[in-house]
C-alpha cells in the first residue's frame, strides 16, 4: 500500500486549509503504518482530527455564505460517519474495516481536496472568515 504523503497536488495556496489538509495526511499516514496494536489509537486520532477539520470548513462555509456548501458539507458528513463506524468496529476488535478505509481514504481525499476544498479556498480568499 502507498503511504499517504503531502504533495503539490494537494496544495491550495491558502494556509488555513493547507494546514488542516497537511495534518490529515500526517494522521492518515500514521494509521496506514500502524500495526494491530496501534491501529485503534491511530484511527481514533484520525477521526478526532477529521471531526475538527470538517467542522472548521463547515463553519467557514456557513459564516461566509459559500454557494457550494451543501454538497461539500454532505460529503464531509458521509465520510465522517464511515470513519466513525470504522472506529466503533475497531473498538470491538474488528480492525479490517478501518484498515480498508485507511487504504482508500487517500484517493478520496485527493479528489475532495482538488474539488470541494479548492473551491472553498478560492471563495475564502475574497471572503475572510470571522
Ligand atoms: Fe479539507
Ligand atoms: Fe472539505
Q: Region 40-64: what's the mean pLDDT?
A: 97
Q: Region 86-104: what's the mean pLDDT?
A: 98
> pLDDT, tens digit, for every residue of 19-35?
999 999 999 999 999 99
Task: Compute, in angstroms, the gap from residue 116 CA to the centroid of ligand 2.
Answer: 6
Q: What is the pLDDT of residue 130?
A: 64
Query: Among residues 33, 36, 17, 34, which one has the least CA distance to residue 113?
Result: 17
Q: Region 93-122: what's the mean pLDDT?
A: 97
Q: CB-side exposure of 125: number of CA atoms within 13 Å?
A: 10
Task: Compute, in angstroms, the gap from residue 94 CA to the centroid of ligand 1.
Answer: 28
Task: Compute, in angstroms, the gap from residue 95 CA to the centroid of ligand 2.
Answer: 26
Q: Which three cell numbers stand for residue 108?
A: 478520496
Give, as residue ranges, everything with CB less than 5 Å from ion ligand 2: 57, 116-117
Q: Which CATH number fits domain 11-126: 1.10.760.10, 1.10.3720.10, 1.20.120.50, 3.40.630.30?
A: 1.20.120.50
Which ligand approaches the C-alpha of residue 115 most closely? 2
Mean pLDDT of the chain: 96
Amino acid at each position: 500500500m502507498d503511504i499517504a504523503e503531502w504533495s503539490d497536488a494537494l496544495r491550495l495556496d491558502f494556509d488555513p486549509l493547507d494546514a488542516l489538509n497537511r495534518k490529515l495526511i500526517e494522521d492518515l499516514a500514521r494509521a496506514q503504518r500502524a500495526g494491530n496494536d496501534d491501529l485503534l489509537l491511530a484511527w481514533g486520532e484520525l477521526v478526532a482530527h477529521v471531526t475538527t477539520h470538517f467542522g472548521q470548513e463547515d463553519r467557514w462555509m456557513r459564516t461566509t455564505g459559500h454557494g457550494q456548501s451543501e454538497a461539500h458539507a454532505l460529503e464531509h458528513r458521509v465520510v465522517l460517519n464511515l470513519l466513525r463506524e470504522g472506529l466503533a468496529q475497531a473498538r470491538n476488535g474488528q480492525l479490517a474495516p478501518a484498515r480498508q478505509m485507511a487504504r482508500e481514504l487517500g484517493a478520496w481525499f485527493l479528489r475532495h481536496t482538488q474539488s470541494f476544498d479548492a473551491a472553498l479556498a478560492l471563495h475564502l480568499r475574497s471572503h475572510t472568515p470571522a
